Structure 1
Amino acid sequence: MSAAPGNLRRRLRQTLTIARRDFTATVFTPIFLLFLFAPVIMGSFGAIGGLGAASVSAGSADKERLVVIAPPAEAAAIVAADRELRALFGADARPPALDVRAPAGDVAAQARAALNAPGIDVSAVMSGPFAAPQILYGRSRRPAYYLAVIAEQAIRLDRDGAQPMSRPTLIRATRDAPSLGGRNASAFFAVFGIFFLTLFLSGQVVGTMAEERNNKVIEVLAAAVPLESVFLGKLLGMFGVAVLFVGFWGIVVSQVGALLPAGANIAELTPAVGFGTFALLFAAYFTTAYLLLGSVFLGIGAQASTMREIQMLSLPITILQVGMFALASAAASKPGTWIATAAEVFPLSSPFAMAGRAANSPTLWPHVAALGWQIAWVAIFIAVGARLFRRGVLQSGSPAGAWRKLFGRKHRTTSRETY
């Protein structure tokens, strides 16, 4: 009876030793600093590209105009109508600036000449009486519709004067529960957050075995420690690196968040289970997502013996991660449907989908079952990966033979394939 607990403690000690070894070998290197500040490098390139695109867009917007050809007596009503309607738009969605011109000769020819004027982009030109205006437009109808509403509003101002006909009372009220749109947005951000972290961090697990296979260290480890402990230890070691990365940037982002403007309101993004519970579930699902994907990548990468093979595995691994993100995103936008159930049950997409469910539904018991289900699959993936490595690599030295040996097929080895 006492042998089993002692064996378990020995396995745990061996696993933690492997984890500590891989953690220190990764963190205490100059390359880790480059990895730690990789988001700054990527963000700098993104900011440079965004500033360039914004400057081009702003330059184009400054040269865009709406033209109204109207007599001076009607120009005041046009300007007043534009001022009232423009206030309804946000800063990013406001129509182009209005340019009111007096008629000169042939109004139709003047309107067409204004639409084709060089040096500025005229989106639409309105001419004629307000009751039946003629509106010319270019690519989009939206500026033409805006000018049509301006004509309608100008008629009302001419008829009723500039005094408002109603005096509304605006009362701001808080919702008793998060809105449906807020929950869906929270679910998407949860799915995207776990996807981004696992995409950025879990891929490094693929190459953890290649160097030790080349210098024969893996043979020494396999002789002293069960392969399952080696695999789990390496996975936990790299997960420790990921936790260090997330903790560092979590502190940085939390301090940057204090600099947000006072008007920034995230109340609509309140998840259904509440912020405290959601934070715990997000951390738990990030852990299981990393362990699930990491165990699969570790098992696949253990079959590769060269960096070229590891690089060739990068594309299918990335496609797999993007596929899980797409499935979980669809589940987050359609909670309670069959696609949501499929995403929550499938092991590799389950952490993403269940994080989205935490934002959409206040029920907690499915998360306990989901976490147990995901941890069970981590154990399965580690066991299968260790068996493939033991039977296909350590015995024959041929990664391709692992798949045939796993299903009991004969595999002949040559002297060149053995270590």
Structure 2
Amino acid sequence: MNGTARLVRQTLTIARRDFIATVMTPMFLVFLLAPLLFAGFGAMGSLGAMTVGQGAEGKEKLYAIASSQDAARLRAADALIRPAIARERGLPPLATVAPTGDPAVQARALLSDPDIDVPAVLYGPLDRPQLIHANPVSTTARYMAALAEQAVRDRRAGLGAAPLSQPTFTRVARDSTSLGGKSAAATFAVVSLFVVTLMLAGQAVGTMAEERSNKVIEVLAAAVPLESVFLGKLIGMFGVAILFLAFWAAVGINITALLPDDFATALSGIAPALGFPAFALLYILYFTLAYMLLGSVFLTVGAQATTPREIQMLSLPITIFQMAMFGFALAAVGRPGTWIATAAELFPFSSPFAMAGHAATSADIWPHIAAIAWQLLWVAITIGIGARLFRRGVLQSAGPKLKWFRRG
């Protein structure tokens, strides 16, 4: 057996050892279901926030102090304008009250009502309405002014509350993906790629430090070259990552089939510019490259740590580095074609994230060919440097330290 075949066999042996040691443990099941726990906590937090928001929203109203005729015109204008405003704006319902005494004093009393939130109050004649509000940048007060304007126009035109037109709404499928759908796909690609690399690549730090502390590395170093140990551990952890992604991809496909039709229709507008088959292939390639780049760095960093305290100290800069690459890639997605996007696509550690987003917004293929070649070069450079630093870091505990001065 030649040297190359022996090196490959030793590397795969180390990879199989790390893969089995990680997967065949009860804690791997907890790790595999960790996204479900995160999703459950997120759903509980969202449900609580929605409950609080709905409770506050039910106690919020817009008030108009007007006569019965003006109140009817305001309600007709509100029924005409409100459906055209997005529900996400959270526009409070309109309530009309008859004037009693001084309308200005009545309006201030309504605005200061402790039992209900009143963003704005309108009083006075509709052609010269008076609006009071507490928020200095109130949009509800401007909405009330628009209602008064519409009511005055309807009164002068002699129009009643009945609509004058009967629109027909027809949904037509687009021939191409919308700009918003491509941007949403790009954001999803960057966020999902960041989350999986954050969860999976960071494990290499703890794994290496643990085996250094219990002297397992010394046994492995005595049996096989340290380069095989480094590459084997990287491949083994990558196999764990592939198993993790395959499991959740299968779960996601089955959950998508159970979604309601309205929700599935809304998701159908989110599509990459390259199409799903090409985008899925590029996503897998960029995940592989991102994992190899970050995994080799984290494995090298973990080789320098010898205690759990050092692991904790190294976790913060690693997380900050990953967050920086994530923010850099998101900025590139938000500003395609700018120097920020070009810099994010060229910088080795943000390039996989930025190019995954680029695959969702552009249908060009040649940038991905160049980017994959560029990232493969940096994967080779990173693994080469990491293997040398790995050897130096391990040998600091497994053998004598380097002596700068020797006696003649």
What range describes the TM-score normalised by the shorter chain of this pair? over 0.9
- Distance, in Å, in 2 between the alignment partners of 1:23 and 1:392 is 23
Report the secondary structure of 2:127's partner residue.
coil
What does residue 28 of structure 2 align with?
32
Task: Give the superposition deviation at 1:327.
Answer: 1.0
1:52 and 2:48 aligned: yes
Task: Give the superposition deviation at 1:380.
Answer: 1.9
Report the secondary structure of 1:269's partner residue.
coil
What does residue 207 of structure 2 align with?
208
Consecutive unaligned residues of structure 2, counting only runs of 5 or more, are none
1:69 and 2:65 aligned: yes
What does residue 220 of structure 1 align with?
219
What does residue 404 of structure 2 align with?
410
Letter in 2 for 1:246: L
**Matched ranges for 1:245-394 at <5 A:** 245-264=244-263, 265-394=266-395
What does residue 191 of structure 2 align with?
192
Confirm or deny: 8 A CA contact 2:282 2:356 kept in the other structure. yes
The counterpart of 1:111, out of the listed 99, 107, 112, is: 107
Larger mean Cα displacement after TM superposition, 224-233 or 117-126: 224-233
Larger mean Cα displacement after TM superposition, 215-224 or 108-117: 215-224
Task: Note the alpha carbon deviations across 1:345-369, whole angstroms, 9 max, x for none.
Answer: 2111111011111112211122223
Confirm or deny: 8 A CA contact 1:115 1:125 kept in the other structure. yes
Consecutive unaligned residues of structure 1, counting only runs of 5 or more, are 413-419
What does residue 78 of structure 1 align with?
74
- Distance, in Å, in 2 between the alignment partners of 1:411 and 1:349 is 41
TM-score, normalised via structure 1 length: 0.90
Letter in 2 for 1:109: V
Letter in 1 for 2:145: A
Task: Note the alpha carbon deviations across 1:240-297, whole angstroms, 9 max, x for none.
Answer: 1111111111111222222322123234322111111001111111111111100000
**Matched ranges for 1:97-246 at <5 A:** 97-139=93-135, 140-158=137-155, 159-166=158-165, 168-246=167-245
Task: Note the alpha carbon deviations across 1:17-46, whole angstroms, 9 max, x for none.
Answer: 111100000111111111111122222222
- Distance, in Å, in 2 between the alignment partners of 1:215 and 1:282 is 37
Confirm or deny: 8 A CA contact 2:303 2:393 kept in the other structure. no
Task: Give the superposition deviation at 1:163.
Answer: 4.3
- Distance, in Å, in 2 between the alignment partners of 1:99 and 1:107 is 15
- Distance, in Å, in 1 between the alignment partners of 2:242 and 2:180 is 31
The alignment's C-alpha RMSD in Å is 2.1
Task: Give the superposition deviation at 1:11.
Answer: 1.7
Letter in 2 for 1:135: L
Task: Note the alpha carbon deviations across 1:172-208, whole angstroms, 9 max, x for none.
Answer: 3333222233222222211111011111111101122
Task: Give the superposition deviation at 1:396.
Answer: 6.2
Letter in 2 for 1:255: N
Larger mean Cα displacement after TM superposition, 170-179 or 314-323: 170-179
Confirm or deny: 8 A CA contact 2:212 2:394 kept in the other structure. no
Task: Note the alpha carbon deviations across 1:92-133, whole angstroms, 9 max, x for none.
Answer: 324211111011111111111111112111111111111111
Task: Note the alpha carbon deviations across 1:148-168, whole angstroms, 9 max, x for none.
Answer: 111122223332223444555
Confirm or deny: 8 A CA contact 2:32 2:244 kept in the other structure. yes
Task: Give the superposition deviation at 1:90.
Answer: 3.4
Letter in 1 for 2:343: A
- Distance, in Å, in 2 between the alignment partners of 1:395 and 1:121 is 67
Report the secondary structure of 2:244's partner residue.
helix
- Distance, in Å, in 2 between the alignment partners of 1:261 and 1:411 is 74
Instruction: Summarize the Cα distance change of 1:75–1:396 in structure 2 as closer, same or farther, 3 Å threshold.
Output: closer
Instruction: Summarize the Cα distance change of 1:205–1:163 in structure 2 as closer, same or farther, 3 Å threshold.
Output: same
Confirm or deny: 8 A CA contact 1:272 1:359 kept in the other structure. yes
1:13 and 2:12 aligned: no
Instruction: Summarize the Cα distance change of 1:94–1:320 in structure 2 as closer, same or farther, 3 Å threshold.
Output: closer
Confirm or deny: 8 A CA contact 1:86 1:94 kept in the other structure. no
Confirm or deny: 8 A CA contact 1:392 1:398 kept in the other structure. no
- Distance, in Å, in 1 between the alignment partners of 2:72 and 2:322 is 59
Report the secondary structure of 2:61's partner residue.
strand
Letter in 1 for 2:111: L
Letter in 2 for 1:226: P
Confirm or deny: 8 A CA contact 2:217 2:394 kept in the other structure. no
- Distance, in Å, in 2 between the alignment partners of 1:181 and 1:73 is 44
- Distance, in Å, in 2 between the alignment partners of 1:47 and 1:319 is 26
- Distance, in Å, in 2 between the alignment partners of 1:24 and 1:393 is 23
Runs of 4+ in 1 over 6 A off after TM superposition: none
- Distance, in Å, in 1 between the alignment partners of 2:169 and 2:45 is 41
- Distance, in Å, in 2 between the alignment partners of 1:224 and 1:293 is 27
- Distance, in Å, in 1 between the alignment partners of 2:120 and 2:90 is 15
- Distance, in Å, in 2 between the alignment partners of 1:169 and 1:91 is 21
What does residue 87 of structure 2 align with?
91
